Structure 1
Amino acid sequence: MSSATSTASLPRGLAVLTTFPDVLFIPEIIFGGLVWILVASSRVPSPILQGWVMFVSVFCFVLSTTLLCLYICGVHGGSGAWVTLDVICQETAALFYLSAAVLEAYLTYDKRTFSNPSEMHIYQENIAAVVFAFLATLMYVIHKVCSLLRWKSS
């Protein structure tokens, strides 16, 4: 795999899937999709908090999928503006996911007591959503740092 600092431009075509940090689009989409599914399938004790988590997971899922498709299609054409756009998108996604992961963790911690055993399943879904939200945050932060290095060298 190529490093982020070896080339100042974004790759095109299937080279996106072989260069670092662009290969991180795949785990970002997978972990974000899992957060989306887990939050959507659980009961909503706090609509405002889980609404934000749901918004972030859907927004970042669509953003990452769109960017990946655009890079594979080669729409960016070697423009330096796309490197800047990549940095802005990754920074936004990292901040959004950090806030969503912390809110989901708080909500899960706050609702850790349950009155009947059937609520244990919902609690476990929320724990899984927290884990995947923090994994997605980690992927976006790593992608952001590498995108910043690429931007700096361009």
Structure 2
Amino acid sequence: MASTTSGDVLPTGGGIFTSIPDLFFIPEFVFGGLVWTLVASTHVSPDHPLGWVMFVTIFCFVFTTLWFFLFLCGANQSSIWPALDTFYHFLAVVFYLSASVVLAYITVLKGWGININLGGNPVSASINGELLRIYRLDIAAVVMSYVATLLYFLHAIFSAIRWKRA
């Protein structure tokens, strides 16, 4: 793995592809993007909890992309960056964990045939046809969301270890 023995605080350029925790950037893009795509491809209902899921996925995708390019361009050489890296990834973990729990809860309700679209009043419906397709997409989104949470958690832990070494 690449080290930062040349006086650099964090790796830059191609070095981010050979160092832990920066190797987690690409899987975070992939799984976070999959959650975003899967949730967006279904009917986002109920609006309020799934709106939070959409906010988290878009927020983390955009900020991880920004973070990745800052690292790639070498703009991360100040001594504050290891702490900022750790803080951002722990924030992403908290956001993704909350979104994953909400998404799993809504998916379980859909699986039971409970639809809460009508002003918060639960309505039972059989799950078939289009509802079954949406339910399956939601299951995939839940799995991808928990994988993204795990990746952000690992990135945060390894960033914290790197920060304490610096």
| TM-score normalised per structure 2 | 0.86
Distance 1:116 1:143 in 2: 38
Distance 1:19 1:69 in 2: 15
* Structure 2 counterparts to residues 1-150 of structure 1, below 5 A: 1-2=1-2, 9-76=9-76, 78-112=77-111, 113=113, 114-118=125-129, 119-150=131-162
Q: Is the 8 A contact 1:39 1:54 kept in 2?
A: yes
- Structure showing greater radius of gyration is 2
The structure richer in strand per residue is: 2
Distance 1:108 1:120 in 2: 11
**Cα distance, 1:3–1:101 mapped onto 2, change above 3 Å:** farther
Q: Is the 8 A contact 1:3 1:21 kept in 2?
A: no
Distance 2:17 2:165 in 1: 21
Q: Is the 8 A contact 2:3 2:11 kept in 1?
A: no
Distance 1:8 1:48 in 2: 44
CA displacement at 1:45 relative to structure 2 = 2.4
Amino acid at match of 1:151: W
Q: Is the 8 A contact 1:91 1:144 kept in 2?
A: yes
Could you tell me which runs of 5 or more consecutive residues in structure 2 were left unpaired when the two chains were aligned: 114-124
The structure richer in helix per residue is: 1
Amino acid at match of 1:85: L
Q: Which stretches of structure 1, 4 residues or longer, exceed 6 Å deviation after superposition?
A: none
Could you tell me which runs of 5 or more consecutive residues in structure 1 were left unpaired when the two chains were aligned: none
Instruction: Tell me the number of residue pairs that the alignment of Structure 1 and Structure 2 aligns.
Output: 151
Q: Is the 8 A contact 1:8 1:153 kept in 2?
A: no
Amino acid at match of 2:100: A
CA displacement at 1:8 relative to structure 2 = 8.1
CA displacement at 1:9 relative to structure 2 = 2.5
Distance 2:87 2:161 in 1: 13
RMSD of the alignment, in Å?
1.7
